[in-house]
C-alpha cells in the first residue's frame, strides 16, 4: 500500500499511530517518550472484535442486504407474473371480482417499500459510534465511511 497516495493508510492520534500494512494487518505504534516505542500488529478480525467490544457494529451489511433484496425482487417478479395472468383473465372475462388483483398490488407495494428500506440501509455509514462514546474534541481521528 502506497502511503503517499492513500491518506487513510495512517491515522495519527496523540502518542498512537495506526497504519494499514500491505499484508492486511494494522500496526498500532505508541512512540511516546515516557515508555519508548511500543508496536502491536492486529489482524482485521482482531480489530473487528475490538470494535464490537466498544460498541461499533461491523456486520457484512452489504451481503445480507443484497440477499434480502434478491429474495424480494424474486418474489416481486413471481407476483408480477401472477398479476399479469389475473389481469388478463379479468379483462377477457367480464364482471370478475378484482379482489385478487388488489391483494397482489398490495403485496407488490409492500415489497417495494422493503426494497427501498434495504437500499437506504446500504447507503448508511458502515460505522456508527456507540451512543455513550466520548466525543473527540481534538478532531485527530478520521474514518473513511
Q: CA-to-CA distance for 61 and 121, rounded, in angstroms?
A: 8
Q: What is the structure's pLDDT at 44?
A: 84
For 5-26, write each residue's pLDDT tens digit: 455 677 776 778 889 899 988 9
3-state secondary structure 91-107: HHCCCCCCHHHHHHHHH
Q: CA-to-CA distance for 24 and 8, rounded, in angstroms?
A: 14
- Contact status, residue 27 vs residue 41, Cβ threshold 8 Å: yes
Q: What is the pLDDT along the chain (145 residues), one digit of tens a residue?
A: 444 445 567 777 677 888 989 998 899 988 777 767 889 999 888 887 787 777 665 456 777 787 888 888 888 888 888 888 888 788 777 667 778 888 888 888 888 888 888 877 776 665 555 555 555 444 444 444 3
Domain locations along the chain: 10-53, 61-123
Amino acid at each position: 500500500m502506497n502511503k503517499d497516495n492513500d491518506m487513510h493508510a495512517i491515522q495519527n492520534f496523540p502518542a498512537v499511530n495506526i497504519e494499514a500494512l500491505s499484508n492486511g494487518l494494522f500496526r498500532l505504534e505508541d512512540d511516546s517518550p515516557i515508555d519508548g516505542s511500543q508496536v502491536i500488529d492486529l489482524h482485521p478480525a482482531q480489530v473487528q472484535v475490538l470494535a464490537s467490544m466498544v460498541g461499533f457494529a461491523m456486520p457484512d451489511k452489504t451481503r445480507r442486504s443484497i440477499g434480502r433484496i434478491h429474495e424480494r425482487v424474486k418474489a416481486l417478479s413471481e407476483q408480477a407474473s401472477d398479476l399479469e395472468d389475473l389481469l388478463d383473465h379479468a379483462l377477457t372475462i367480464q364482471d370478475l371480482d378484482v379482489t385478487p388483483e388488489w391483494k397482489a398490488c398490495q403485496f407488490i407495494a409492500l415489497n417495494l417499500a422493503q426494497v427501498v428500506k434495504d437500499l437506504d440501509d446500504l447507503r448508511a455509514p458502515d460505522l456508527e459510534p456507540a451512543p455513550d462514546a466520548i466525543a473527540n474534541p481534538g478532531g485527530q481521528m478520521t474514518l473513511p465511511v
